[in-house]
Amino acid sequence: MRSFGTNEVWFILLSVRWTLLLSAAAFAGGAVGGLLVALMRTSRFAWLRWAAIGYIKLFQGTPLLMQLFLAFFVPGIFGINVDPWGAAAIGLSLHASAFLGEIWRGCIEVVPQGQWEASSALGLRYWRQMRHIVLPQAFRIAIPPTVGFLVQLIKATSLASIIGFVEITRAAQVINNATFQPFTIFGLVALTYFVICWPLSLYGRRMEQKLALATR
């Protein structure tokens, strides 16, 4: 057993970059998938709406930990090797797609019906309505809940440690196995997550307040 010192603290802090990179990759993948899911949920075609609903129910109704396990182990059945980084990014992106898709679907539906009717009267087709009229308004509404979900996604990256991806939580586990000082180590990890997530929470709350004032 070795003592907990500067090298151990530095190792944990260096692992922050992997947490942030994984969060960014998962959010980017989730944003692309989420936009697709949101458009499917608001589509005029029933089969697209039902396909999106099924996807959302599947990923919102099952544990994220199980989704990460499947993303890591299932490709191996077909002879495809996926490293922990790839599996974590894929699993979290699919998870984020379901939640962001439902968040953004709600924001699209909040746009007043009169905006749809006015754009239809101008002869705009569905995709041009979405691109030029609806999505710009929905984007503004979506900022606070999207930032709130990003905070949850950053904290959810800790589950990637279970498949061997070395982010903050996994680094803490490695150091704790060598030093046996869990209170100090995981206290530092908790403080690190707080430093990352608290500013985002404040930003989301501020944007929500600005939106509330603008709609009065």
What's the Cα-to-Cα distance from 164 to each of 84, 154, 155, rounded to whole Å? 6, 17, 16
Contact 132, 123 (CB under 8 A): no
pLDDT at position 123 is 73
Residues 23, 88: Cα–Cα separation, whole Å: 10
The arithmetic mean of pLDDT across residues 205-213, rounded, is 75
**Residue 212 banded pLDDT, cuts 50, 70, 90:** low
- Within its chain, how far is the Cα of 71 from the centroid? 16
Sign of the Cα torsion 94, 98, 103, 108 reads: positive
The arithmetic mean of pLDDT across residues 174-185, rounded, is 88
Task: Write down the pTM of the prediction.
Answer: 0.90
pLDDT value at 215 more than 60: no
Q: Hey, what are 136's tokens?
A: 């710009």
Residues 56, 34: Cα–Cα separation, whole Å: 10
Sign of the Cα torsion 26, 32, 35, 39 reads: negative
The arithmetic mean of pLDDT across residues 9-15, rounded, is 89
**Residue 216 banded pLDDT, cuts 50, 70, 90:** low
As its CATH architecture, domain 6-214 has Orthogonal Bundle (1.10)
Better-predicted residue by pLDDT, 203 or 33? 33
pLDDT value at 31 more than 80: yes
Q: Model confidence over 83-119: pLDDT tens digits?
A: 999 999 999 999 999 999 999 999 988 887 777 777 7
Q: Hey, what are 116's tokens?
A: 């749809």
Residues 31, 45: Cα–Cα separation, whole Å: 22
| Percent residues over pLDDT 70 in the chain | 97
pLDDT at position 141 is 87
Q: DSSP readout, 81-129?
A: ---HHHHHHHHHHHHHHHHHHHHHHHHHHHS-HHHHHHHHHTT--HHHH
Cα angle: 197, vertex 199, 204; to 5 degrees: 95
Q: Model confidence over 109-168: pLDDT tens digits?
A: 888 777 777 777 777 777 778 877 888 888 888 988 999 999 999 999 999 999 989 899
